[in-house]
A = this chain, B = another copy of it.
Amino acid sequence: MDLHSALRAGLPRDAVLVDRDLLEPYSRDSAPFCPAGRPSAVVLPRTAEQVQHVMRVAHARGAAVVPQGARTGLAGAANAADGCVVLSTTAMDRILEIDQANRLVRCQPGVVTHDLAESVAQYGLCYPPDPVSREVCTIGGNIATGAGGVCCVKYGVTGDYVLGLSVVLADGTLMRTGRRTVKGVAGYDLTRLFVGSEGTLGVIVEATLSLRPARRAALAMLAQFRGAREAGDAVAAIVAAGHTPSALELMDRTTTRAIADLGHPLLARADAATLIVECDSADPAGELAEMARLCAEAGAVHVETARDGARSEQILQARWLIAAAMGQVMSTMDGNPTAFIEDVAVPRSRVAALVDEIEAVSARYGLYISATGHAGDGNLHPVVLFDQDDPGQVRRAQDAYDAIMAAGARLGGTITGEHGVGLLKRDWLRRELDPAAFALQQGLKRLFDPAGILNPGKVVDLSPALAEAAHA
């Protein structure tokens, strides 16, 4: 039986796409620079049993399977390989259980993150992780990439909420990991191993997530500084004073100008670095007043503190305008402009130094680079704009991207805070990890997927030459 017939034998008719036009959108996620192949088929299973069927068919044939969520990833982890089966979990979109007494939710992987948060909110509960793509991205993708977000600075990342998983392994076996209890240390932590594994170890078909009590009403503040260094000093002072804001976001001068050009009413100073602070403590007004004082001491040239929810919303809005602002800048560029979004994390105290390095990289390569991100976590997302039809610019953009990661590493950081490795940073992973750790990463991949059919080539490179180098 051919692959397509075999897949159809255990799936609903509309769950197997083979038409070339239909396959096209499934070939890549949102990362530039990453190679993407043409899938042989896209399957859209609705149940764990159907995923098991797909994996059994693929396993018997040695066919590659690329698990996929909403393709909002920025590292190429969901990109198709030529001839592979793309396994989209987007049709597995049911919330299976909301357990109020135990503050947990059980759901399929294709549930959209924002929908999950809205659903549990009706029970007075909160699922905090808020990646910027939360309106479209899925819980399965969030777990597979170890997604972060804006409120992580107070509430942690996706992985902190994963209690248990059901996973279909490479050979089609269904495996449960983890628990429904708050605590548990029964054996090695397989659940955590799947967080950030980008579909290379198994296909997540169900997740049990812990929840928190509803968040209190928040207030926001906006503070502007001459440059990132002063803003960084303010961040350090806020942290040192023991505050735990629910957002602590930095926009460098370039980003601030772009958003001001878009007409945001509150960015009084376009030529400034901007901090956006949100606080949802028991006394947000009092705590924001203290943080405003710390910002002033750090040299803020303008501080605006919201007294109500509407003004807070307006302040936070600036942070959500970054994509639109970059789009506006690109509309003024020649050729075929595109944006490359980077994801470097450094120790919190080095954020300002990283912004300086990024400005230097921008000057050196003659490229528009803005720097923005989660200052409270030390996690920046520089945005590099370039004309993808201009080979010289493409090369310079790639070099700039490398230079930014190198700067992050020099500052004691990591190559990826929350976007993952995928294809994009696979070579960089070998540079970040020491050889023994890299060899064990390869060993883990081989243990879970001996035939190498699950999202091959993502996260760790298994090529023998590299493996030998790592062992040497």
Contact = CB atoms under 8 A, between A and B. Distances in A.
A51 to B, nearest CB: 14
Contacts of A196: 185, 187-189
Interface string A382-403: 0000000000000000000000
B173 A436 contact: yes
A8 interface: no
Most B C-beta atoms less than 10 A away, residue of A184, A188, A240, A348 = A188
Interface string A175-203: 11101111111111110110111000100
B441 A236 contact: no
A188 B444 contact: yes
Interface in A351-394: 374, 376-379
A335 interface: no
A254 to B, nearest CB: 23
Most B C-beta atoms less than 10 A away, residue of A153, A175, A213, A436 = A436
A429 B187 contact: yes
Interface residues of A, number: 87
Contacts of A412: 180-181
Contact of A190 (B214, B374, B418, B437): B437
A100 B421 CA distance: 30
B102 A347 contact: yes
Interface in A425-460: 425, 429, 432-434, 436-438, 440-441, 443-445, 447-448, 459-460
Interface stretch (A21-29, A31-39, A144-152, A296-304): A144-152
Nearest to A413: B181
A285 interface: no
A419 interface: yes
A416 B160 CA distance: 19
Contacts of A182: 152-153, 345, 348, 376-379, 417
Given A102-B347, A181-B412, A187-B196, 9 more contacts: A101-B349, A169-B436, A175-B437, A181-B377, A181-B379, A183-B378, A183-B418, A184-B417, A189-B195
Q: For the complex of A and B, list the 5 residue pairs with the smallest distance between their C-beta atoms, beginning with the closest.
A: A213-B242, A101-B349, A146-B185, A183-B417, A175-B436
Interface of A: 99-104, 124, 145-146, 148, 152-153, 157, 159-160, 169, 173-177, 179-190, 192-193, 195-197, 201, 213-214, 236, 239-240, 242-244, 281-283, 345-349, 374, 376-379, 412-421, 425, 429, 432-434, 436-438, 440-441, 443-445, 447-448, 459-460
30 contacts: A99-B349, A100-B240, A101-B348, A102-B349, A148-B183, A157-B183, A175-B434, A175-B436, A176-B437, A179-B413, A181-B348, A182-B348, A183-B345, A183-B377, A183-B378, A183-B417, A185-B196, A185-B416, A185-B417, A185-B419, A185-B421, A186-B429, A186-B433, A187-B459, A187-B460, A188-B196, A189-B192, A193-B193, A213-B242, A447-B447
